[in-house]
Amino acid sequence: MIRRLILHNFKSIASASVEFDKLTFLVGRNGSGKSNIADALAFLTESAEWPLQTVFNRRGGALNVVHRQSLPPRVLSGVHAELGIGIQFDDVLGLSSDFEQERVSGRYSFLLAIDKNGFEVLREQCIINRPSGKKVWFDRAKSETRSSLDVLNESRLPFILPDALAMPFAGSLPELTAALMVLRSIGIYSIDPGKLQEFQDPDEGKRLISNGSNAASVLRGLRSDSVEFRRFFEVLSTVIPDLARVRPQTIGRKQHLRFYQQWSETGRLGFDAFNMSDGTLRAFGILLALYQNNRPDLLLIEEPETSLHPAATAAIVETLIQESERLQIIISTHSPEVLDFAQSSEDNFKIVTWNKGRTNIGNVDGAAKASLQQHLATAGELFRMRILDAPPLFEKTIEDSQQTLFGEIE
C-alpha cells in the first residue's frame, strides 16, 4: 500500500507530505484542493503508462500543472520552476532476480524542471527494500544514472530522452517491478452519470475508466456467479428499489446499460441508463469500480455523496469502509453526512484547507482531535461546526518537500 505521497509545487500544493492508511478521508470545503491530491496520484499512474508530454497535455500543458507561485514573474531563458512527486510504499508483492515472490517496501520519486520551452527530468529515483535488508535502486541525475543493477549502470540509459522518465523501462526489470506495479495499480474515480447514460464504445473492459465511460464493457466482464458480482448486486439493490437485473446491451457498434426492476411475478419494467437518475448511476459506477475485475490496489473515490439520497450514501460509504480491509481506499468529501458514517480514528482524516493562494494538508488537531478521541462528536458534527477543518491559529513554516522526495541509498 502507499504510505506517503510527497508533493512539491504541484498545482495548488506548494509543499506536502501526506500519510495514508488503509482507509483515509480527505476532508475539505469546495475549492480547497482535494481534487489536486487525487490528480497527483492520477499523474503518477499515467506517467507509468504514457509519455510525460501526453500526461501534461491532458492537463493543458506543464505550466498549468506547476504551482503558480513557484513560477518566476517573468519566465526568462534559463529560469525554471521545479515540480516533484514521490511515493513511499510497503507490503507490496515483488520479485527477486530469481523471479521468487517476496514482500517489499520502497519509494519512487522524480523532480522536473519546467519553463516556457518545455520540461526535463532533473532527478529520478527508485529504491526497493528487500526482506533480506538489501536495497535495489537506481538514481538518475539528468542523463547520468547510478544503480545497484549492472544492466542500468552499463547502459547509462542513453536512449531515455531528457523529457522522459526511466521507470517505464527500469520497472520491467524483476527487481524493480514492484514499484511499477504500485504506480499502475492506482485507480482515481470521479463518476460522471452523463457518461453512463450515453452509448459507449466497447473495449476489453480490463479497467474502469475514471469517469465510468466504459462501464458496459467492464460489467460484461464480471461473471454473474462470482463473489464480486454478488456483492456488487447486493449493495446496488439497497440503492435501487426492486432491482432484479442490470446488464449491458449491444446496439450496432455501441453498448449501453439496462436496468430491470421487478416487484411481483408479473410486475417488471426495464429502464435504459438514460432513464435512470444521476444518483443511481453514480452509485452504480462507484460499486463497479469497487468490484471490477483486476481492481486497483488503491482506490480513490471523489465525492461519493453527490446527488445521492442519505440512505444510499450510507450504503456506499459503509461498503467502502468494509472493503478497506482488503484494499486501500481514499474518500474525498466535503459532506458532513459522509463523515457521520465514518466512525474512524482521527488518524484516518486528512484536513485540506486553502490559505493565501495554496493548499495545506494536515492532520486532525486541537479541539477536533480531543472530541474524536473522547467520542464527544462525530467527524460530521465537527465539520458542520467548522471545527474539523478550522485553519491553524498560527501559520506554520512549510516543510520543503523537495528535501524528502529522495531517500538515502547507502
Same structural domain for residues 152 and 10? yes
> Are 181 and 196 part of one and the same domain?
no
The secondary structure of 376-410 as a DSSP string is: SS-HHHHHHTT-TTPPPSSPPPPP-GGGGSS----
Q: Is the pLDDT of residue 154 over 70?
A: no
Q: What is the pLDDT of residues 213-266, one digit of tens each?
A: 999 999 999 988 899 999 999 999 999 989 999 999 999 999 999 999 998 888
Contacts of residue 68, Cβ cutoff 8 Å, sequence gap at least 6: 357
Specify the pTM: 0.92
> What's the pLDDT tens digit per position in 329-339?
999 999 888 88
177 lies in which domain range?
2-20+39-186
Predicted confidence (pLDDT) at residue 396 exceeds the cutoff of 50? no
**Do residues 160 and 146 share a domain?**
yes
User: Are residue 6 and residue 151 in the same domain, yes or no?
Assistant: yes
Domains in the chain, number: 2
Rounded to the nearest integer, the mean pLDDT of the chain is: 89
Task: Please say if the pLDDT value at position 73 is more than 70.
Answer: no
Same domain assignment for residues 13 and 85: yes
Last residue of a domain, one of 262, 295, 328: 295
Q: Distance (Å, rounded) from C-alpha 88 to C-alpha 283? A: 31
Quick check: is 158 in a domain? yes
Regarding whether 216 and 128 lie in a shared domain, the answer is: no
What is the rounded CA–CA span in Å between residue 215 and residue 203? Answer: 10
pLDDT band at 201 (very low <50, low <70, confident <90, very high): very high
**Do the Cβ atoms of 166 and 140 come closer than 8 Å?**
yes
Same domain? For 229 and 179 the reply is: no
Instruction: Record the cell numbers describing residue 129, joined without a space.
Output: 527494500
- pLDDT over threshold 70, residue 158: no
pLDDT tier for residue 144 given thresholds of 50, 70 and 90 = confident
Most confident of 52-66, 92-106, 258-272, 374-388: 52-66
Model confidence at 319: pLDDT above 50: yes
Q: Check pLDDT > 80 for residue 368.
A: yes
Lowest mean pLDDT among 13-22, 311-320, 362-371: 362-371
Write down the pLDDT at residue 388.
81
How confident is the model at residue 398, as a pLDDT?
A: 44
* Sign of the C-alpha dihedral computed for residues 73, 77, 79 and 83 taken in this order: positive
- Summarize pLDDT for 17-67 with one digit per residue, the tens: 999 999 999 999 888 999 999 999 999 999 999 999 999 999 999 999 998
